[in-house]
Amino acid sequence: MRRKRPFAVIAFASTEQALAAEAMFTQRGRMIPIPSQVSAGCGLAWKAETSEEQVLLDALCETGIGFETHALVELFD
Is the Cβ–Cβ distance between 51 and 24 less than 8 Å?
A: no
| Pairwise CA distance, residues 15 & 62, whole Å | 19
Q: HSE-up of 26 (CA within 13 Å, CB side)?
A: 2
Q: How confident is the model at residue 69 (pLDDT cuts 50, 70, 90)?
A: very high
| Backbone φ and ψ of 20, nearest 5° | -65, -40
Model confidence pLDDT, tens digit, residues 50-66 = 999 999 999 999 999 99
pTM above 0.85, yes or no: yes
